[in-house]
Structure 1
Amino acid sequence: MATDFLGRMLRNDLPDPNTSPELFEGILTRRAVAFVIDCIIMGAAILVVTLVAGILGIFTFGLTWLSIPLIVPVTFVAYYAVTLGSPSRATLGMRATDIVLTPTRETTLDGWMAMIHVVVFWISCSLLTPFIILIGLFTPRRQLLHDMIVGTLMVRRSPMVRHWQAYARTGNPAG
């Protein structure tokens, strides 16, 4: 096992872009499309929750209106935690574009790691946009800055299923 810069152990079964290029084919474009789909879904959810809070504010003498500034960040974090932390390890946009999030370290991808992933993503986006996308052009596995910090990898789902099956069968990710 290789050791990364944080001293944690990297998994043995991580795909190699040289032997499994189909896993990384168009991954940055797919991520961008998935992000747009997810933003549309979250935008609709934010609109509905804001309208409900606005209407409830009338009946609660404005008390519910105090929650309106929290709606956007809570919606973003909750959406990613529920979808990325699920067994499918993908948001609705990621499912539509056939990509999945995989941990690169000896850990599982749960709701907490998904929440950390989205918080680091938004922090890095707000500080370094568009440079986080440029990093993906120069990393062999097309990882973005927040992927490397959190210890995740985005790959195409359908070829990845074949990769995991080959690894489980032979103990060798190449098949």
Structure 2
Amino acid sequence: MSENNQIARVPFPAAEEARWPAGAFDGIIAARCMAFLADLLVILVLLAAANILFGILGILTFGLLWPGAALTPLIALAYFTLSLGSRHSATPGMRWQGIELRTWDGRRPGYLQGALQTLLFYVTVTVGTVLVLLVPLFNTRRRCLHDYLCGTVFVRRSV
């Protein structure tokens, strides 16, 4: 074989995990819990408003639009996906608590990773309940099970 036909075997550079400054993970567990409760309150208000809207539309259309109310769970998915994939990398509750989502190498996640984070959160909490909440107690970066699966980490915003 000639030299031009050979495939160059260049080792793939190992991506390094971001090095976070001291204090980047202080109080993350409590902040995530408080942020989730705040976001849950916002989602409940949005769900109530959507159900009222679909109720009114259902009455006005003699029940034709009532099946649209089945789409209201997508409000939570959209809320978290659009918030985590935004330039803030945080939901309003997370911004209130001063935390944000980052990829394991320190970049801001996109909308696809925000959607994956949200879906895996709900799946792992549904399947693993308490185990998901115990995982951050045994690692220094306070990452939950769905954070490991998504390749993300929550840090203090000031970092």
Superposition TM-score tier, normalisation by shorter sequence: 0.7 to 0.9
Q: Is the 8 A contact 1:80 1:91 kept in 2?
A: yes
Q: Look up the match of 1:62.
A: 63
**Length, aligned pairs only:** 148
Question: SS where residue 154 of structure 1 aligns?
Answer: strand
Q: Is the 8 A contact 1:10 1:106 kept in 2?
A: no
Q: How does 1:88-99 map to 2 (within 5 A)?
A: 88-99=88-99
Distance in 2 (CA, whole Å) between partners of 1:9 and 1:54 is: 54
Match status 1:128 vs 2:128: yes
1:81 Cα offset (Å): 1.1
Match status 1:28 vs 2:29: yes
**% identical aligned pairs:** 31
Question: SS where residue 89 of structure 1 aligns?
Answer: coil
- CA displacement, residues 57-95 of structure 1 (integer Å, 9 cap, x when unaligned): 0122212210222202x0111001111110000000000
Pair 56,141 (structure 1): closer, same or farther in 2 beyond 3 Å: same
Q: Residue 14 of structure 1 is aligned with which of 6, 11, 19? A: 19
Q: Is the 8 A contact 2:135 2:145 kept in 1?
A: yes
Match status 1:101 vs 2:106: no
Pair 9,122 (structure 1): closer, same or farther in 2 beyond 3 Å: farther
1:9 Cα offset (Å): 5.2
Distance in 2 (CA, whole Å) between partners of 1:37 and 1:117 is: 18
Question: SS where residue 102 of structure 1 aligns?
Answer: strand
Question: SS where residue 25 of structure 1 aligns?
Answer: coil
**What is the one-letter code of the residue matched to 2:95?**
R
1:140 Cα offset (Å): 1.6
Q: Which moved more, 1:128-137 or 1:28-37?
A: 128-137
1:39 Cα offset (Å): 0.1
- CA displacement, residues 32-72 of structure 1 (integer Å, 9 cap, x when unaligned): 00000000000000000110011000122212210222202
Question: SS where residue 23 of structure 1 aligns?
Answer: coil
Q: What residue ranges of structure 1 are gaps of 5+ in the alignment?
A: 1-7, 161-175
Pair 33,106 (structure 1): closer, same or farther in 2 beyond 3 Å: closer
Q: Look up the match of 1:111.
A: 111
Q: Is the 8 A contact 2:89 2:101 kept in 1?
A: yes
Distance in 2 (CA, whole Å) between partners of 1:104 and 1:12 is: 6
1:106 Cα offset (Å): 8.3
Q: Is the 8 A contact 2:17 2:104 kept in 1?
A: no
Q: What residue ranges of structure 2 are gaps of 5+ in the alignment?
A: 1-12
Q: Look up the match of 2:78.
A: 78
Q: Look up the match of 2:5.
A: none
**What is the one-letter code of the residue matched to 1:14?**
R
Pair 115,96 (structure 1): closer, same or farther in 2 beyond 3 Å: same
Q: Is the 8 A contact 2:39 2:93 kept in 1?
A: yes
The higher radius of gyration belongs to 2
Distance in 2 (CA, whole Å) between partners of 1:59 and 1:26 is: 50
